[in-house]
Structure 1
């Protein structure tokens, strides 16, 4: 239990800056710039900003989820572009970035949901070995639950290796989506 709490606190503190760095990496990738591994660590000096971003997003989503599940899901999509906004505009506070994300996602939440849903087949395919491995371990080690749980935990990473390929693809798609909805509208060409 202490390990889980420590992991959650570490994820809250460092995870925000890591998420900002990953957003920076993906935006460079989408923009055709050199996307380097160093981009992932480019936001390490923004631990406080990342913490505030993750904390406020989680708090707001939890509060909306108290109403019902659906408002929580809607707000999750409303706040989805916050890391990209904060990565691109470091002067914004977490609350300002969340507000901006709400503004740009107005009318785009369904599009992002459909984009996420388009990956469902890949995610199910990636989950199959994990569930099959867990089922087999639990089937053959029913007498010793500790051994079964240990084997499932040890097999989690190799059996979910597909996610190491699908998640970056999804993140790049989100960065492309962000670029798409924040692109300045172009004026129609005049007929000559």
Structure 2
């Protein structure tokens, strides 16, 4: 029997209804700890490259100063270094928090009554949480470079020779490379779940296990992702309607209203999507959507605790 998408979604919604505290509240805390932190950092530290370009552009309009002089004056190496360091630390922080949210939604889907503290599970496995995201990013970047090199070579030849045929070939190579990148990204989708289920497993081994588990299942997960496309469009529509209504009074109010409306809807959609993906993982690895009905090979038991609600 194949993977049952409607049943996986139904079980995810049922798990959301039966989980205490409410997954929407936990997701709100997660958003505040990620998007909220990013927003606050952005208020304190802006992109120096953007600021320098914008200032140089304004002076260029006046025609009074050399834009390159303004650009060099504003864009100091120290400012760039600080911005890059903070951006790097912020990305690492996001990796750790995403690990914790995956832990929460996996437990939620299994009916284990997870609490807010599961959002910080990534800090308890800090090295592995960072390394699995870092290795995945490196692998995808290397694959992307491999696909981009032929495209760039053919594109340069097409420009030098003025060949429309080579130009079309370059476009086909670009499209093919993008498709292959999507396929390769699906190979690594379950790595975090393997780390959560197997605390003794290393980051590289979890990626290997994910690649093996996803053989023959990448298309199914792709279809599962696309089955949420309508919901994502609805989020965008809600945001546009909110912006439109708010703009009747002021542009700032429109932006705020649209963001709040879409954000509120996403508080329900995010645990729903992630819970369904957790059910997909359980199906691929354990052969059952309802994890507690299947002990797995050799009587495999969940490494997590009992069903006692957590704080």
In structure 2, what is the Cα distance between the partners aligned to 1:135 and 1:7? 35
The equivalent residue for 1:24 is: 103
1:119-176 C-alpha deviation (Å, 9 max, x unpaired): 00000000113345567889x99xxxxxx6x777645631422222111100000100
Normalising by structure 2, report the TM-score.
0.51
Normalising by structure 1, report the TM-score.
0.78
* Alignment gaps of 5+ in structure 2: 1-41, 48-83, 148-176, 289-295, 298-311
2:285 to 158, 165, 182: 182
The equivalent residue for 2:233 is: 124
C-alpha distance 3-176 of structure 1, shift in aligned 2 (>3 A): farther
In structure 2, what is the Cα distance between the partners aligned to 1:152 and 1:102? 44
In structure 2, what is the Cα distance between the partners aligned to 1:92 and 1:35? 22
1:74-104 C-alpha deviation (Å, 9 max, x unpaired): 1111101111111111222221111111110
Q: 3-state DSSP class of the match of 1:41?
A: helix
The equivalent residue for 1:190 is: none
Q: Which runs of structure 2 are paired with 1:118-157 in the superposition (5 Å)? A: 118-132=227-241, 154-155=256-257, 157=259
The equivalent residue for 1:48 is: 127
Post-superposition offset of 1:29: 1.7
C-alpha distance 7-74 of structure 1, shift in aligned 2 (>3 A): farther
In structure 1, what is the Cα distance between the partners aligned to 2:142 and 2:255? 32
Q: Which has the higher contact order (CA 8 A, sep 6+)?
A: 2
In structure 2, what is the Cα distance between the partners aligned to 1:44 and 1:91? 16
* Alignment gaps of 5+ in structure 1: 142-147, 188-192
Work out the number of aligned pairs and report it. Answer: 180
In structure 2, what is the Cα distance between the partners aligned to 1:103 and 1:137? 49
2:262 to 156, 160, 173: 160
Considering only aligned residues, what root-mean-square deviation do their CA atoms show, in Å? 3.0
Contact 2:100–2:118, Cα closer than 8 Å, also in 1: yes
In structure 2, what is the Cα distance between the partners aligned to 1:10 and 1:157? 26
Contact 1:12–1:55, Cα closer than 8 Å, also in 2: no
Post-superposition offset of 1:47: 2.2
C-alpha distance 176-135 of structure 1, shift in aligned 2 (>3 A): same
Post-superposition offset of 1:12: 2.5
Larger Rg: 2
Q: 3-state DSSP class of the match of 1:34?
A: coil
